[in-house]
A and B are shown apart, each in its own frame.
Chain A
Amino acid sequence: MTWAPAFLSNPERFMAFSRWAAPMFGAIAVALAAVGLYLGFTAPEDYQQGQTVRIMFIHVPAAYMASFVYVCLGGASFLSLIFRHALADAAAQAAAPLGAGFTLLALVTGSLWGRPMWGTYWVWDARLTSVLVLFLLYVAYIALRASMDDEIKAARAGAILALVGSINLPIVHYSVEWWNTLHQGASVFKKGGSSLAPVFLTPLLIMALAYTSAFGSLWLVRIRGEVWRRRAEAAALRAARG
């Protein structure tokens, strides 16, 4: 897949590709979500958690996406910083609001799941706190970009912030192993295989694919918007110069 970034680094090729890929990923996401939700709601209730296990099908994919989108943001920021590539910067800028959205979803749905299971909406344990920090990093990135008029300086500052913030990703992932947390440890991907019964694991994985596909679609749409914005601003500048 090393050809993919090089192929898509050409804006014209990217616009031609994303024109059909964005709706295709969107349609795949809708189909997967329909199947995942059907299987999720027809699964039996958990012997300990009862009906609240349904929240898992929307919370766990959101939590996974919160980190995955930051990996995309960090990767695009790295390419933008090293190669000064405008499309990589557009990809980073486009990923941040979506990452903030998924992280907000993970925090809110986790809180609504935590209340009946733990007896509290919030606790300052390592997993919850590190995910809150992840959300604040997304917000800080968006605010930093919005606060600077110079596009080149904003791209550089944003990329540095995104790369420095990526230190939080292993903390989010390993927080449940490094510290005693109220949040449970890994149950999907762990040594010895998943501890989830197939009747819960199947809809969960389908929903994770649906979220990933939805992100793919929305990311492409937002990058296209960024390309149009930069082209419009360049056209406005040309018009102003006569």
Chain B
Amino acid sequence: MLDFKYAEFIVPAFAVTIVVFAAMIGLSLHHARRWRKRFEELSGK
């Protein structure tokens, strides 16, 4: 199973993956929600 040899490379690799995925998810949802809200304001929906 797991030991901590090479942890200084494995942990950052997984941490960076989580951060980049979180950024891609957060920015994508924010972009879609922002412009949907803006469209609804402008079109009076």
Residues of A within 8 A of B (CB): 41-42, 50-52, 54-55, 58-59, 62, 97-98, 101, 104-105, 108-109, 112-113, 115-116, 214, 218, 221-222, 224-226, 228-229, 231-232, 235-236, 239
Nearest-neighbour CB distance to chain B for A151, whole angstroms, equals 14
How close is A20's CB to chain B, nearest CB, in angstroms?
A: 15
- A58, B9: Cβ atoms under 8 Å? no
User: Which B residues are CB-close (under 8 A) to A97?
Assistant: 24, 27
Chain B residue contacts of A225, Cβ below 8 A: 28, 31-36
A105-B16, A112-B13 as given contacts; A221 in contact with B32, CB under 8 Å: yes
User: How far apart are the CA atoms of A50 and B5 in the complex, in Å?
Assistant: 8
Contact of B39 among A98, A105, A108, A235 (CB under 8 A): A235
| CB-based contact A54/B31 at 8 Å | no
Q: How far is the CB of B1 from chain A (nearest CB, A)?
A: 7
| Known contacts A58-B14, A58-B17, A232-B38; is-contact A218 B25 (Cβ 8 Å) | yes
Grouping DSSP codes into helix (H, G, I), strand (E, B) and loop, the B interface class, with mixed when no group exceeds half, is helix
Other than A50-B5, A225-B35, A239-B42, give 9 A-B pairs with Cβ distance below 8 A: A41-B2, A42-B1, A54-B10, A97-B24, A98-B28, A224-B32, A225-B28, A228-B36, A228-B39
Q: What chain A residues lie within 8 Å of B10 (beta carbons)?
A: 51-52, 54-55, 112
Q: Within the assembled complex, what's the spacing in Å between the Cα atoms of A232 and B32?
A: 12
Q: Hey, what's the 0/1 contact readout for B3-17 against A, CB within 8 Å counting as 1?
A: 101110110111011
B17 closest partner in A (C-beta) = A58
Chain A residues near B7 (CB-CB < 8 A): 51
In the bound complex, do residue A218 and residue B28 qualify as a contact, i.e. CB atoms below 8 Å apart? yes
**Chain B hits for A112, CB < 8 A:** 9-10, 12-13, 16
